[in-house]
Amino acid sequence: MTNPSDFKVLVVGGGFGGIAAALRCRALGFQVTLIDRLDNLGGRAQVLEIDGFKHDMGPTVITAPFLFTELFELFNEDINEHLTFLPLTPWYRYVFHNGQTFDYGNDMERMKTEIKKFSPADVENYQNLIKASEAIFNVGFSKLAHVPFQTIWSMIRQIPNLVRLRADKTVNAFVKSYIKHPLLQQAFSIHPLLVGGNPFSTTSIYSLIHFLEKKWGIHFCEGGTGKLVMELEALMRRQAIKVITQTEVKRIIYTDDKAESVVLGNGSTLSFNYLICNADPPVVYEKLLGKRSNYSMGLKKWLPDRFVNYSMGLYVLFFGTKKQYPDVAHHTIWLTERFKELLKDIFDRGTLTKDFSLYIHRPTATDKRFAPENCDSFYVLCPVPNLRTQLNWDKEGSLLRDRIVQALGETILPDIENQITAEYWMTPQTFKEKYLCAHGAGFSIAPNLTQSAWFRYHNQDPKIKNLFFVGAGTHPGAGLPGVVSSAKVVEQLLKDQ
């Protein structure tokens, strides 16, 4: 590459992957334009405000905050002058079907006490689990998360590591080999659900999240994820990145080996030297390129889309309460009695059952500005089947809302029926229509072993060499660390041009 300033980069999609890619390309010296179809940047990390109640609509858990620090350091700026990441204690509070609770966090003495409530023998077992997770982390995150997997040979070279780390095991099998109490097994197996996977089918490589959380903790961005997006956008504008919102890309014009321009909703075109898509890869291939939706997906590129495994759908209920619930933690994971069978219903059978498990976000536990005085703000996420089923969400959305409110009223939010206000909910249909997610899947394709690294959608198209991908559907995967890291992968690919 001669002079980067002579080259134009167009980033399509302003989620965290697109923002990180735009900043990294600008730091390399490229002219950068970022375009998004929504009113505001952030992708799924939009902000909802109703009657004085504020909600982060997308990611709410911040791990590996150094990845955001790096983006400011690219331009010799101090992130602490713009953002504050607050460490949370506990990280999560688990509430089991029998009423028992388990506070999960970084304080080892407190963890020992919490584990002893269920199984004294599992105190040492947990420490062994963390050591095993560290070994996976040292390969899966430190060595592989930021490395491109463009050829089958790049995958074959990692086979010794994958065999040594038992990547053929699932996350649940990994946890069960250390933790013996069934409720603790559930608690320590939950992490794949945070990136769209079933713990009973997700490769144990994702068990690295245990150590990742230990290493950097779990944080809340003061002001919310929306504040994080706002400051990253301000950083882009300070660095002369052109930001265009409310503009949709309808088609990518390309020859056999080169993307040349995009056609916008108003019929105009934009040209570029490099195109980076922060959009769901199957949608880009099928709708914008007119190719098979799994065109660049490892071995599955030869198979119909029905052989591709997608993440679950998400039902998200936002509401305020007219009083506070001070005993509810910032993050709560509320688990029903059925664990494995419920996940089979969601991932395999595509059945919406009467019971459910929930992730509950109460940001007012940490930041009172999310609700009017003496009130609380809540975000309740319920994993559900994606749109490969024939569920009628116009009907089911309201019914599920009522079941969730009733269940919470009988457990951690007493009298919620009389306190709830300012409601809004999203279904898999919302994710398909608002965020253009294939099958309404909240995290793109599922993180199975056969859909990871080279088997996932490639960060660089195998034939259209100036087309790149960042975000949940490409390597290294979903979740904020994965999405932001995908920009580092593309940065390396561009350096190698």
For residues 369-385, average pLDDT: 97
State the residue for tokens 């995908």.
Answer: 486
pLDDT at residue 2, rounded to an integer? 66
pLDDT at residue 302, rounded to an integer? 82
pLDDT band at 300 (very low <50, low <70, confident <90, very high): confident
Rounded Cα distance between 91 and 67, Å, is: 19
The mean pLDDT value of the chain amounts to: 93
Helix (H, G, I), strand (E, B) or coil at 109: helix
Q: Which helix (H) or strand (E) holds 424?
A: strand 420-426
Phi, psi (deg, nearest 5) at residue 379: -130, 120
Rounded Cα distance between 248 and 336, Å, is: 41
Q: What residue spans of 311-427 are helical by DSSP H? A: 340-344, 393-409, 416-419
pLDDT at residue 62, rounded to an integer? 94
For residues 331-345, average pLDDT: 95
pLDDT at residue 454, rounded to an integer? 78
Dihedral over alpha carbons 169, 171, 173, 176 (to 10 degrees): 150
The tens digit of pLDDT for each residue in 183-202 reads: 999 999 999 998 999 999 99
The tens digit of pLDDT for each residue in 107-145 reads: 999 999 999 999 999 999 999 999 999 998 887 776 666
For residues 255-263, average pLDDT: 93
pLDDT at residue 297, rounded to an integer? 85
- Give the range among 7-11, 100-104, 155-159, 197-201 with minimum mean pLDDT: 155-159
The tens digit of pLDDT for each residue in 38-81 reads: 999 999 999 999 999 999 999 999 999 999 999 999 999 999 99
Q: Among residues 31, 45, 38, 30, which one has the least CA distance to residue 13?
A: 38
pLDDT at residue 336, rounded to an integer? 93
- Give the range among 179-193, 203-217, 318-332, 427-441 with minimum mean pLDDT: 203-217
pLDDT at residue 143, rounded to an integer? 67
Q: To the nearest whole percent, how much of the chain has pLDDT over 70?
A: 95
Tokens of 288: 């914008």
pLDDT band at 146 (very low <50, low <70, confident <90, very high): confident
Q: Report the DSSP beta bridge partners of residue 254.
A: 259
pLDDT at residue 153, rounded to an integer? 58
Q: Cβ neighbours of residue 115 under 8 Å, at least 6 residues apart?
A: 102, 122, 123, 126, 184
Per DSSP bridges, beta strands 376-384 and 313-321 are antiparallel
pLDDT at residue 56, rounded to an integer? 97
For residues 219-244, average pLDDT: 98
Tokens of 18: 């697109």
Q: Which strands, in side-by-side order, build the sheet including 101-104?
A: 101-104, 92-95, 331-334, 358-361, 376-384, 313-321, 420-426
pLDDT at residue 440, rounded to an integer? 97
